[in-house]
Amino acid sequence: MKISAARVIVTSPGRNFVTLKLQTDEGLYGIGDATLNGRELAVVAYLNDHVLPCLIGRDPARIEDIWQFLYRGAYWRRGPVTMRAIAAVDVALWDIKAKLAGMPLYQLLGGRSRERVLVYGHANGEDLDATVDAVGRYIDMGYRAVRAQSGVPGVTLAYGVGRGTLNYEPADAALPTETAWNTSRYLDFVPRLFDRLRARFGNEVELLHDVHHRLTPMEAARLGRSLEPHRLFWLEDATPAENQEAFRLIRAHTTTPLAVGEVFNSIWDCKDLIQGQLIDYIRTTVVGAGGITHLRRIADLAALYQVRTGCHGATDLSPVTMGAALHFDTWVPNFGIQEYMRHTSETDAVFPHDYRFERGYLFAGDSPGHGVDIDESLAARFPYKPASLPIARLEDGTMWNW
């Protein structure tokens, strides 16, 4: 069998997605996600100009060799654009291999380690009352784990606050929206939010919170310590992790579990965090880090240090990533949790899939492959729309981490 054609499909059913379709000379095809929020066309160009011409005529069964060819062979290694392009190829190849075997992808990875995949949803509100109500709505929908984000009094456009729907999309304008940040107000507010949530919902529900890179290591340590009584499932991205060593300081001061890694794209971004046992959950996902082939290596390293997985699953990762991630989650021995932000109904229609949500869990389907397809004629009805992620500045105008 040979790869006979490769095509990139860009569609925007509510938001932009980049999908790779690899076809074989025997009629089988596989699809992979290559979406990079706000930088979609950079990955399209990388795939079209540098990756796809090298794939035609290759044996699709040689997943590992093609991965090494695209990673080592590029000379310029890593980075979000390269690793997303590699991920799209890798996932499409696993899809083909599993379809050829007539098996759901989790069977090829080693089979089931669990019956269902625990997920967390995103509750958010413009203020404390609205956020408490939003968490209640997620619990009513059956969620057992909920991420809570709230508007902060005195902070314009705090991270993670949606506009009253289940689908929060931060890439809201062609050019970046500017938001203003105030750390003191945030640090005073967050413990009050979790006081209210625990008082209202008790300890049964798992609660999570995303700092979205806004704090320094010492501020993060202070927040982690102040949230210890609220028994969070995790505190996410408490400080930027380019310097992995920074987490040592946070770790020394708090027992609140730490999660990081949605922006990582290789094992090298988290090697010290894992080996130093500086985190509890690794957030890297299939599309972010070179596909199933590389994510598996990260998970295996993490398992040695009792670090568990918590794959990124925001709506800017397409249903193809969600499908592949659910097969990975069904197999991976050191599974922690899976993020699950619901896609719009338009997106779900463009990407027919066989995974399903029930009472706080997602279930990978049993059809051969990763179980997600693309309806190309429907996709063509939603043309690409430029959209950027926001930026954050401190109140004096200094650029900050969004």
Residue 78 tokens read as 């890593």
Distances (CA, A) of 363 to 143, 178, 345, 355: 14, 38, 19, 6
Restricting to residues 260-279, which ones interact with ligand KDG according to CB under 6 A?
262
CB closer to ligand KDG, 78 vs 312:
312
Q: Which of 276, 222, 267, 226 is nearest to 247 (CA)?
A: 276
- Beta carbon nearer to ligand KDG, 108 or 314: 314
d(CA 400, CA 292): 33
Q: For residues 163 and 125, what is the distance between their CA atoms, to the nearest angstrom?
A: 8
Shorter beta-carbon distance to ligand KDG: residue 40 or 339: 339
Q: Is residue 314 within the footprint of ligand KDG (CB under 6 A)?
A: yes
Site string for ligand KDG, 378-397 (x = CB under 6 A): -----------x--------
CB of 163 to ligand KDG, least distance (A): 15
Cβ nearer to ligand KDG, comparing 97 with 213: 213
Q: Where are the alpha helices (DSSP H) in 144-290?
A: 183-201, 217-226, 246-253, 271-275
The residues carrying an active-site annotation are: 159, 212
Q: With binding defined as CB under 6 A, does residue 339 bind ligand KDG?
A: yes
Q: Is 60 in the site for ligand KDG (CB under 6 A)?
A: no
Give the interface size with ligand KDG as a residue count (CB under 6 A). 10
* Cβ 147 to Mg ion shortest distance, Å: 8
Contact window for ligand KDG (CB under 6 A) among 91-99, 109-117, 130-138, 310-318: 310-318
Q: Is 40 in the site for ligand KDG (CB under 6 A)?
A: no
Q: Which residue in the set 19, 37, 150, 293 belongs to the binding site for ligand KDG (CB under 6 A)?
A: 37
Vertex 285 angle, CA 235 and 374, to 5°:
130
* Close Cβ partners of 105 (under 8 Å, ≥ 6 residues apart): 94, 95, 98, 292, 324, 327, 364, 369, 370, 371
Which of 18/208 has CB closer to Mg ion? Answer: 208
169 binds ligand KDG, rule: CB under 6 A = no
Q: Does 210 bind ligand KDG (CB under 6 A)?
A: yes
What three-state secondary structure class fits 150? strand
Shortest distance (Å) from residue 179 CB to Mg ion: 16
- Residues in contact with Mg ion by the rule CB under 5 A: 210, 262
Helix (H) or strand (E) holding 348, with range, is helix 345-350
What's the min distance (Å) between Cβ of 33 and Mg ion?
A: 18
Q: Which of residues 93-132 bind ligand KDG (CB under 6 A)?
A: none
Structure tokens at 65: 């060799």
- Residue 170 binding ligand KDG, by CB under 6 A: yes
CA 41 to chain centre: 19
Q: How far is the CB of 143 from Mg ion (least distance, A)?
A: 17
Contact 30, 91 (CB under 8 A): yes
Q: Would you say 327 and 354 are in contact if contact means Cβ atoms under 8 Å apart?
A: no
Contact range with ligand KDG by CB under 6 A, out of 74-82, 226-234, 246-254, 311-319: 311-319
Give min distance, CB of 302 to ligand KDG, in A.
Answer: 18
Contact present, 49 and 74 (Cβ < 8 Å): no
Q: Tell me the two tokens of residue 283.
A: 């957030």
Q: Pick one of 21, 78, 212, 251: the residue that binds ligand KDG (CB under 6 A).
A: 212
Angle subtended at Cα 317 by Cα 134 and Cα 230, rounded to the nearest 5 degrees: 35
Minimum distance of Mg ion from residue 211's CB (angstroms): 9
Query: How many Å apart are CA 246 and CA 226, to the nearest integer?
Result: 19
How far apart (Å, rounded) are the C-alpha atoms in residues 221 and 227?
A: 10
Q: What residues line the site for ligand KDG (CB under 6 A)? A: 37, 170, 210, 212, 262, 312, 314, 316, 339, 389
